[in-house]
Amino acid sequence: MLNDLIASIYEITKNFKDPITHIKLDQNNKNINVVCKNGNANISLDIDPKFQKKYQNLIIALKNSIQNIENITSVNVMLTSEKVPKTDPAKRFKINADKIIAIASGKGGVGKTTFAVNYAVALKKIGYKVGILDADIYGPNVPRMMGIFDKPKFNNNNKLIPLENYDVKCMSIGFLISDDTPTIWRGPMITKALEQMFSGVEWGELDYLIIDLPPGTGDVQLTLAQNSNLSGSIIVSTPQEVALIDVRKGMNMFNKVNVPILGIVENMSYFICDSCNQRHEIFSNGSVKKEAEKFKIDFLGELPINKNLRIQSDEGRPVCIADSNNDTAKVFSYIAQEVHKKLTN
């Protein structure tokens, strides 16, 4: 069911037709997609790029009409295409970052985003200029974990200004859509959105850009691996075999696209009981390290199941900020320093 603002936008768009196909731009038209968060309306139209100029009047008319809807504060109309132009990848996905690291996982639910956020903050804490790009289009959780709930604005160059917290610059599709709005986009639309968040953002000069990839080995992972000049990847996994099966697929993908694997992390490695103060290995332990040895990849360390880490993540307070003397925070700091050494030696 559509929320009220999106329904109101479609009430406007249905009065317009695609200038090429002459089909109404209503909610049944597969070539239009509408997302809205905090009054920020984003409309994407999937078109044949050779007719791009034919849509300029439509874009202006849509903006002028939709901005009159009550509670709409800004309107952005984006043209996308199933036929992605063949351009130099370096020109499409370009950013002024010295090192770009993808944080990946074979499957969901292993704590990849928690790692990405805390790793980014750990890098900042030891003195580097850091940005984090939430590339998990279907499940963007970086905004909550970074404690950012505003929406980005455009500068004079029509580029998005990244939001900041803890001196880390951040961009996510989650800033532009509401928490309960599904992102029902096809592959080329996702590619276009990623390109805008990557090179359509005024990142400034960065020492590190950390990219939080969605789990798996699909379009998003391949697009970024092939087009964003990655310095390397870090893979996060839990110790049980069902997670490691998918990790192997991820490692093979990075190997095939010639992206160095900087290391692998075992998350949820163990749990220290509050009552007995004993270590419990709920998901087994040590399997990720054995996998790293098997594939001749650096094992970066173990991270425990930690109740406070979960609470801090929900509250938008990375552990390196909330409690820098915590043992878990020290692991993140160690990993940040070790990977930096590996990239600079």
Residues of 60-99 as b/e, b for ≥16 C-beta within 10 angstroms?
eebeeebeebeebeebbbbbbbeeeeeeeeeebbebebeb
pLDDT > 70: what percent of the chain? 90
> According to the per-residue pLDDT averaged within each range, which of 91-105, 141-155, 265-279 is highest?
141-155
Average pLDDT over residues 172-198: 67
What is the pLDDT of the chain when averaged over all its residues? 84
Q: Give every CB contact of residue 239 below 8 A, 6+ residues apart in sequence.
A: 266, 268, 269, 281, 283, 284, 285, 286, 287, 288
- What confidence tier does 205 reach under pLDDT thresholds 50, 70, 90? very high
Give me the residues paired with residue 84 across strands: none
Q: Is residue 190 over pLDDT 80? A: no
Average pLDDT over residues 246-274: 86
Kindly list the structural domains of the chain, giving each domain's residue range(s) and its CATH number in brackets, ordered by start.
Answer: 4-80 (3.30.300.130), 91-344 (3.40.50.300)
| φ/ψ (deg, to 5) at 323 | -155, 85
C-alpha radius of gyration, the chain, whole number? 21
Q: What is the pLDDT of residue 84?
A: 44
DSSP string of 211-231, one letter each residue: EEPPSSSSHHHHHHHHHS---
Average pLDDT over residues 271-285: 79
Q: How is residue 322 written in tokens?
A: 């909330």
Average pLDDT over residues 160-175: 91
Q: Is residue 1 over pLDDT 60? A: no
Q: What is the pLDDT of residue 178?
A: 58
Cite the beta strand spans of the chain per DSSP E. 32-37, 40-46, 74-80, 97-104, 130-134, 163-165, 168-172, 206-212, 232-237, 261-266, 271-272, 279-280, 299-302
Three-state SS at 315: coil
Report strand pairing: 206-212 vs 74-80: unpaired
Other C-beta atoms closer than 10 Å to the C-beta of 340 total 17
Q: How is residue 81 written in tokens?
A: 């295409």
Give me the residues paired with residue 169 across strands: 131, 164
Q: Say which residue, 202 or 158, is predicted with more confidence.
A: 202
Digit-coded pLDDT (tens) for 16-72? 999 999 999 998 888 898 888 777 888 888 888 778 889 989 999 999 999 999 888
Q: What is the pLDDT of residue 340?
A: 95
Q: Say which residue, 127 or 243, is predicted with more confidence.
A: 127
Q: Say which residue, 12 or 3, is predicted with more confidence.
A: 12
Three-state SS at 285: coil
> According to the per-residue pLDDT averaged within each range, which of 116-120, 275-279, 284-288 is highest?
116-120
Do residues 162 and 131 make contact, with C-beta atoms less than 8 angstroms apart? yes
DSSP category for residue 201: B
Digit-coded pLDDT (tens) for 285-313? 788 888 888 889 999 999 988 888 889 98
Average pLDDT over residues 223-227: 74
Q: Give every CB contact of residue 151 below 8 A, 6+ residues apart in sequence.
A: 37, 38, 40, 175, 176
**Residues 176, 181, 182, 185, CA torsion sign:** negative
Q: Is residue 89 over pLDDT 50? A: no
Do residues 143 and 134 make contact, with C-beta atoms less than 8 angstroms apart? yes
